[in-house]
C-alpha cells in the first residue's frame, strides 16, 4: 500500500479496511485478518495497525470475539456509508457549492452533468 503524506497512516489503514468491507471482501460477522497479519500484508508497524483497528472498533465497524479475533459488525456497511456521507456533506459539499457559484453553473447544467457522470460511473 502506498501511503499519502496528508493523512496519518493508521487512518489510511482504517479507510482501506472500510473499502474492503464495502467491496464485499469481508462479509458481516466474518473474521478479518489479525493485526499482525494485516501489518505484514501492508508492511507497517503493528502499533499503527492496532491504532487503525481501535478506530474501527470505536466506530462499531468491527468487534472482537475473545480468543477468536476481530470480526465485521453486522451493520458495518451502513455505519461506513453513514460516516462517509457525513464526511462528504461536511467537507466536500461546501467547497463544491462555492465552486459551482463561482463558476456560475446553473442548477440545470449541474444536474444534467451530474446525471451523465453517475451513468458513466455506474
Query: Which H or E run includes 69?
Result: strand 69-72
* Bigger pLDDT: 91 vs 1: 91
Per-residue pLDDT of 101-114, as tens digits, reads: 999 999 999 999 99
All three cell numbers of 70, joined, read 476481530
Q: Which percentage of the chain shows pLDDT scores above 90?
A: 94
Residue 1 has a pLDDT of: 79
DSSP 21-67: HHTTSS-TTPBPPPHHHHHHHHT--HHHHHHHHHHHHHTTSEEEETT
Kindly report the pTM of this predicted structure.
Answer: 0.84
For the chain, give the mean pLDDT: 96
Per-residue pLDDT of 6-27, as tens digits, reads: 999 999 999 999 999 999 999 9
Per-residue pLDDT of 51-81, as tens digits, reads: 999 999 999 999 999 999 999 999 999 999 9
For residue 47, is pLDDT > 80? yes
Amino acid at each position: 500500500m502506498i501511503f499519502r503524506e496528508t493523512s496519518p497512516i493508521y487512518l489510511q489503514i482504517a479507510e482501506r479496511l472500510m473499502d474492503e468491507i464495502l467491496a464485499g471482501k469481508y462479509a458481516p460477522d466474518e473474521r478479518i485478518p489479525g493485526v499482525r497479519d494485516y501489518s505484514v500484508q501492508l508492511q507497517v508497524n503493528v502499533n499503527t495497525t492496532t491504532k487503525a483497528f481501535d478506530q474501527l472498533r470505536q466506530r462499531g465497524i468491527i468487534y472482537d470475539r475473545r480468543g477468536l479475533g476481530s470480526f465485521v459488525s453486522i451493520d458495518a456497511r451502513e455505519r461506513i456509508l453513514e460516516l462517509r456521507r457525513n464526511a462528504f456533506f461536511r467537507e466536500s459539499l461546501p467547497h463544491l457549492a462555492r465552486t459551482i457559484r463561482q463558476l456560475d453553473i446553473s442548477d440545470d447544467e449541474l444536474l444534467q452533468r451530474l446525471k451523465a457522470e453517475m451513468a458513466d460511473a455506474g
